[in-house]
Amino acid sequence: MDYPQAINALLAMVDHERSVAAAPRQKRIYDLGRMEALLARLNNPQLSVPAIHVAGTKGKGSVSALCDSALHAAGYRTGFYSSPHLHTFRERIRRDAQPIGESQFAALVAQLLPHAQQVEAATGLGPVSLFEFMTGMAFQCYAQDRVDFQTIEVGLGGRLDATNVVQPQVCVITSISLDHMAILGDTIAQIAAEKAGIIKPGAVVVTAPQSPDALEVILDTCRKRNARPILVGKDVTWEGGQSDITGQDLVVHGRLGEHKLRTPLLGQYQLENAAAAVAALEVLQEQGHPISGQAMRQGFAAVSWPCRMEVLASDPLVVADGAHNPYSMGALLDSLARYLPHKRLIALSGFSRDKNVAEMVRLLAARAQVVYAARSRHPRSLAPSALAAEFQAAGRQALQASSVADALSQALVQAHPGDLVLGTGSLFVAAELREAVLGITPELYPDLLPPDLRAPQAV
């Protein structure tokens, strides 16, 4: 099997991430039986490598990337599993901070495919989904490569997420806010209960600063499962320092020492994420795994986690950020004013239809002087005409663009010295802006495009 064949095999699977079906995936998943059956056929590779398991609404990817980068800088062989991807499926399975190669990716697909088919045939639990399959690929990759640590980012929720089969050395729960409410619940407490589902009996749990409702649920779960909580903001604190477009300085006051750090990740919330990552790494230190302060400094400085307030160009400033709920949109807009002073804000916006579009539009309409309504290639993307109508209702005229690249071309013509061009509203919009600015050729999946973006069929 070659790489294109491997991608075709994946795209033939049930894909709840891109599905436009009415019933959300977690509403159709009652337990982890199918995932456990697949891993049992592989001799449970997820249990053979020490793990950091990271859940949350905002920041879980950044915390995971920081942990992985620091462990790599400390000389460990590392695996890092995340989702979704920006430009290629291979980004989801990283080894030593880099996406695995096409040949290894294809070999893993070929290796797991017969097992997935047997699970469907023998258990009556239905077909293995794309996310479940790729989670199994990651675990198998890290076990076969005998990595020292695997950092596993939860895909969605926690309790019923396919990654929730590990027995981690440390759990991390980042900031929780309202998102995926049709799947996880209508309140912060309900969503926190799903996220806290990753807490195993006797675990060590690092939690970022939370609202009172979320923290109460997390601490109650810790008590019930005899888990030890470490509170970022209380047990581990931080102070921000100088910043420029290349990154920011900070000091984290950990439980084991003080860490003077610099990270290319911009935004106030990244200070909180860095403190959470330090807290998790200190837990590993306590468990007997050497991780020096120098390794943390090198790892945090070298971390790569694109499309999170990422500066793509400086004249004019072009920034990509995958803010996709009102909380993260508000945090992004506040951070732009603080970290990247500018005259006018020109927003290239696009949203998934299942998000709280009206509230995010309201926030953007209040800050941006020029707005473009675009759409990504994702099948759940909202049409530019519908998005323009949302902006109209919020009192802001939006110019329609046929694509993110088209919106960028128009915006660069409009931009004056000192302006900031921002691509946001979904990670997929941010990724397409990144491709347009940096000349990245992405993997394209024509059959998954929104109907109006597909090439006409030959008659």
pLDDT tens digit string along 209-268? 999 999 999 999 999 999 999 999 999 999 999 999 999 999 999 999 999 999 999 999
Q: Give how far Cα 82 sits from Cα of 155, 202, 210, 276, 315, Å.
A: 7, 25, 23, 17, 32
Query: Going by C-beta distance under 8 Å and a sequence separation of 6 or more, which residues neighbour residue 6?
Result: 105, 106, 109, 110
CA 372/CA 362 separation, integer angstroms: 14
**Tens of pLDDT, residues 307-344:** 999 999 998 999 999 988 898 899 999 999 899 999 99
pLDDT at 298 (0 to 100): 98
> What is the C-alpha separation between 396 and 27, in angstroms, rounded?
36
| pTM for the structure as a whole | 0.93
Average pLDDT over residues 403-421: 96
Omega into 456 within 30° of 0, i.e. cis?
Answer: no
Q: Token pair for residue 197?
A: 């589902």
- Residue 458 CB burial class (10 angstroms; 0-12, 13-18, ≥19): exposed
Q: What is the pLDDT of residues 337-366, one digit of tens each?
A: 899 999 999 999 999 888 889 999 999 999
Residue 95: what pLDDT? 98
Backbone angles phi, psi at 189, to 5 degrees: -65, -40
User: Are the beta carbons of 404 and 376 closer than 8 angstroms?
Assistant: yes
Asked if the bond preceding 212 is cis, omega within 30° of 0, the reply is no
CB within 8 A of 124, min separation 6: which ones? none
The arithmetic mean of pLDDT across residues 273-294, rounded, is: 98
CATH homologous superfamily, domain 310-453: Mur ligase, C-terminal domain (3.90.190.20)
CA angle 59, 60, 64 (to 5 degrees): 115
Note the pLDDT tens digit of each residue in 165-198.
Answer: 999 999 999 999 875 545 565 689 999 999 999 9
Q: Where are the domains of the chain?
A: 3-302, 310-453
Give CATH for domain 3-302.
3.40.1190.10
| Cβ proximity of 322 and 267 under 8 Å | no
Residue 22 confidence (pLDDT) above 70: no
